[in-house]
C-alpha cells in the first residue's frame, strides 16, 4: 500500500496535528435511515463516490447548521422528510486524501428512525433497503467496514482515515468508540 511518490510518503509520515493545523476542512453529512433490522443505503449515480453504496448526505451550505444540512440532504437525495430532533449523531470522522486536499472532509454521521415518506430514486441516488447484517461492503467505500458495524451495534465513533489519491486504499486509520460524539446542535 505504500505509494511511490515523495508527496505520498510525506503524507503518510505526517503527524495528525501537522495535517489538521490551518486546514480548512469541508463539513459534510452522512445519514442513514434505520429500522429494527434494516438500513437504507443509496447507490451514488454521479459525482464524488459514484457507483458506491453509501448513506445520503453532502456539503453544508452557507448559513445552515450541520443538522439542517443533514435533513435537507435526506430530502433532496431520497425524497423523505425528517425533523432535526429525530436525527441521532452517531459519528464524526475526518477523511484525508493524499495529494487531494480538496477532497478532505469532516463527516458528521447521523441515524434517523423517524421520517415521512418512502425513499425514492433521484438524479443522484438510488436507495435500497439492506439487512443490517448483510451489507455490500465490497461495493462501498473501503473505510465503511471499519466503523459502520460499530454504529449499527449502538456505539458512537470518532476517527480519522487517510487514503491514497483516489480513495481506493486506506493508508492508515484510527477509529475510537466514544461515550458520545461532539454534539452538534441546530442554530437558534
| Per-residue cell: 42 | 443509496
* Long-range Cβ contacts of 58-64 (<8 Å, 24+ apart): 58/28, 58/29, 59/26, 59/27, 59/28, 60/27, 60/28, 60/29
Q: Which domains does the chain have, with CATH numbers?
A: 6-176 (3.90.79.10)
pLDDT for 20 equals 42
Q: What is the mean pLDDT of residues 37-61?
A: 94
Q: Are 44 and 56 in contact (CB under 8 A)?
A: no
pLDDT for 2 equals 35
Average pLDDT value over all residues in the chain? 86
pLDDT for 179 equals 82
By CB neighbour count within 10 A (0-12 exposed, 13-18 middle, 19+ buried), where does 55 fall? buried
> pLDDT per residue over 123-163, tens digit each?
999 999 999 999 999 999 999 999 999 999 999 999 999 99
Q: Which helix (H) or strand (E) holds 130?
A: strand 125-131
Amino acid at each position: 500500500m505504500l505509494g511511490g511518490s515523495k508527496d505520498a510518503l510525506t503524507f503518510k509520515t505526517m503527524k495528525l496535528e501537522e495535517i489538521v493545523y490551518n486546514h480548512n476542512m469541508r463539513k459534510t453529512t452522512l445519514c442513514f435511515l434505520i429500522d429494527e433490522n434494516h438500513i437504507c443505503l443509496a447507490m451514488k449515480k454521479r459525482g464524488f463516490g459514484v457507483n458506491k453504496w453509501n448513506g445520503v448526505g453532502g456539503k453544508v451550505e452557507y448559513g445552515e447548521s450541520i443538522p439542517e444540512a443533514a435533513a435537507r440532504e435526506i430530502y433532496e437525495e431520497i425524497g423523505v422528510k425528517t425533523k432535526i430532533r429525530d436525527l441521532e449523531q452517531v459519528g464524526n470522522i475526518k477523511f484525508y486524501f493524499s495529494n487531494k486536499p480538496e477532497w478532505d472532509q469532516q463527516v458528521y454521521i447521523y441515524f434517523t428512525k423517524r421520517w415521512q415518506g418512502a425513499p425514492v430514486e433521484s438524479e443522484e441516488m438510488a436507495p435500497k433497503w439492506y439487512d443490517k447484517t448483510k451489507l455490500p461492503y465490497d461495493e462501498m467505500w473501503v473505510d465503511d467496514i471499519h466503523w459502520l458495524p460499530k454504529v449499527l451495534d449502538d456505539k458512537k465513533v470518532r476517527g480519522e482515515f487517510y487514503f491514497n489519491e483516489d480513495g481506493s486504499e486506506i493508508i492508515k486509520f484510527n477509529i475510537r468508540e466514544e461515550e458520545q460524539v461532539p454534539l452538534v446542535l441546530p442554530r437558534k
